[in-house]
Amino acid sequence: MLRPLAEDGAAAGPPEPVADLAAAVAGRERAHAPRWVWARTARLYPVLLRAGVRVARCHDLELVESLLLGHAGRYGEPRSVAAASARLRGEPVPDDPPPFADETPQGSLFETAAEPDDLDRIVEVHADQRRRMSGLPGFALLAAAESAGGLVAAELAADGLPWSAERHDALLTELLGPRPAHGMRPKRLQDLADRIDAAFCGTGRGAGRGTGGGTRVNPDSPAQLVKAFAAAGHPVASTRAHVLKQVDHPAVPLLLEYKELARLHTAHGWAWLDAWVRDGRFRTEYVVGGVVSGRWAAHGGGALQIPRTLRRAVVADPGWKLVVADAAQLEPRVLAALAGDRAFASAAAAGDLYAALAGAFPSGGPVAPRDQAKLALLSAMYGGGTGDATALLAVLRNRFPAAFEFVESAAREGERGHLVRSRLGRTCPPPPDGWRELAAAGGDRAAAALRSRGRFTRNFVVQATAADWALALLGALRRRLTALGPPRLVFFQHDEVIVHTPEPLAAAVTTAVHESAAEARDLLFPGTPVVFPMETATVDCYADAK
């Protein structure tokens, strides 16, 4: 079932049954390129993609409802069409279904359940959202960008990141030894486990080796390790790497190596390869706005945490290239544009922002001026203010008062329990239950709660606006890649993208990346002198990009 809508969101005609949904959508896309209104892109768009149909624009009712609820200070309330419609009608509001329980749609493009008035609810909720957005400056752009992000996320999952299973297996074999039998340690890990046990046994005070073929000190057991270190005369509070590095014991270097390799085996070993790589592609489900700041999350596969070692397995197809691009020093540049501090903005118009700010900091000391500038900026955005950062923050406050005051103001709003917003209106969650009572009680715990909330809101305004910018970049780049034809976005992480493209189009893709970054800047910060440079590399393998 399809139904046309007027500009104000009202129904512009009766529901129209179609025999072939994908064909009907494709035909209207070619003829009119409309903005499609549907309940949940993650549920419906994959069906169209499997049929070979892509759309240019959509309005994702669930994503937009979540943004609107957050703006109203009602973060976390049910956001489904059924819930939004129930609120409008004064009916009991149902909970949202589990997000990944079943993404298979019903028979209608717009259906979310089997009730006959679902299409009416879609129209009703969409019109209400347009009404609520009309009084919120910038929010329509945020809704469009978030909805475009939903399309990108579904396309990323459908296209997949080029991944060589052969290279991945070779890397694992090189680092861990041959693939072990199920439930067994790889050879390299077992060798290290034996040497760790022997190192403790060699102290004369350790547990020693057993006779059953295993080890008496299990390197996978923090409790056993803490006990073994204590028995060897080196009591430790934990087995975290930074703690172990302070201990002078022959087991420490072995244990640090074991931990690193075990992490690789557990998170991205052969089981991961079997589960997530098919037909030369790594595919996962991206969660648009999965973090409160607007950053994405991933459902399975660890798509946003590809280890540097395994980037050697990300390889372009023959005759194709990977164009890898990331925004240089994105969040400090966002702060410069947000604050409108002329001196800071002028510095941010340079290539290396930290180097441009270095002149404000003293030279000749143990810390280079560029590093001082970086520490001061990160402390301002993330709420640091102890040790060396205190003096550096004072320099930042004196030289760039507007930039410093911008984040300080956001921190004060947080400490008062108020909400803060990104450039386009993405809103932070309210304080947790009990926070106001704790903050009003006085004492050290209250002071700590206030500082924590202030640090959160200080960072939120910058990080959420950076997420706004990244979404605008994605939407602009997706449009340009569609015009080029075969190039595809295949990876996105906060401020980094990878495009898989035929080699002859690599230069055009690079140009599209830079143009899209400029367009995102102009959408969010019209007239700003701040530049948002993209560092790009055209490579055969992801590991060669940096």
pLDDT at res. 118: 84
Q: CATH class for domain 331-463? A: mainly alpha
CATH classification number, 282-330+467-545, choose in 3.40.50.2300, 2.60.40.1180, 3.30.70.370, 3.40.50.150: 3.30.70.370
**Helix residue spans in 60-164 (DSSP H):** 61-71, 81-89, 118-133, 139-159
- Model confidence pLDDT, tens digit, residues 83-120: 999 999 999 999 998 776 544 444 344 444 334 458 88
Token representation of residue 213: 């073929």
User: For residue 328, what is the DSSP state?
Assistant: T
DSSP 500: E
What pLDDT is recorded for position 385?
60
Q: Cα–Cα distance between 436 and 432 in angstroms, integer?
A: 8
How confident is the model at residue 389, as a pLDDT?
67
The amino acid present at 31, given as its one-letter code, is: A
Per-residue confidence band for 216, with pLDDT thresholds at 50, 70 and 90: confident
> Residue 144: what pLDDT?
97
Give the residue-averaged pLDDT of 402-426: 94
Give yes or no for residue 26 having a pLDDT over 50: yes
Residue-wise burial string across 277-314, b where 16 or more C-beta atoms lie within 10 A, e elsewhere: beeebbbbbbbbbeebbbbbebeebebbebeeebbbbb
**What was the pLDDT predicted at 204?**
45
Q: Are 441 and 435 in contact (CB under 8 A)?
A: no
Q: Is the Cβ–Cβ distance between 325 and 535 less than 8 Å?
A: yes
**Whole-Å CA distances, 233 to 205, 240, 255, 394:** 8, 18, 17, 45
Residue with tokens 């898989």: 500
Least confident of 50-64, 90-104, 191-205, 531-545: 90-104
pLDDT tens-digit series, residues 345-394: 888 877 788 888 787 787 777 788 888 888 888 888 877 665 666 777 78
pLDDT at 114: 35
Predicted pLDDT of residue 202: 67
**Hey, where are the domains in the chain?**
21-136, 166-273, 282-330+467-545, 331-463
Q: In terms of C-beta distances under 8 Å and separation of at least 24 residues, what long-range contacts does 371-378 make, across chains too?
A: 377/332, 377/335, 377/353
Question: What per-residue confidence (pLDDT) applies to 209?
Answer: 44
Q: Is the pLDDT of residue 35 over 70?
A: yes
Report the DSSP beta bridge partners of residue 36.
58
Give the sign of the dihedral formed by CA 486, CA 273, CA 497, CA 158. Answer: positive
CA proximity to 258, closest of 179, 197, 174, 192:
192
**Which residues have a Cβ under 8 Å from the Cβ of 449 and sit 6 or more positions away?**
435, 438, 439
pLDDT recorded at residue 379: 81
Please give the residue that has the higher pLDDT: either 74 or 370.
74
Residue 388's pLDDT is what? 64
**Confidence category of residue 141, pLDDT binned at 50, 70, 90:** very high
Average pLDDT, the chain: 89
Q: How many residues are there in the chain?
A: 546
| 3-state helix, strand and coil shares in percent for the chain, rounded to the nearest 5 | 55, 10, 35
**Residue 360 near residue 373 (C-beta atoms within 8 A):** yes
Average pLDDT of the segment spanning 193-216: 64
Asked if residues 79 and 146 have their Cβ atoms less than 8 Å apart, the reply is no
pLDDT tens for 314-331 read 999 999 999 999 998 899
Specify the fold of 166-273.
Taq DNA Polymerase; Chain T, domain 4 (1.20.1060)
pLDDT tens, position by position, 144-169: 999 999 999 999 999 999 999 999 99
**Do 481 and 441 contact (CB within 8 A), yes or no?**
no
Q: Residue 304: name the closest of 411, 153, 143 by CA.
A: 153
pLDDT number for residue 208: 45
> Using an 8 Å Cβ cutoff, are 118 and 110 in contact?
yes
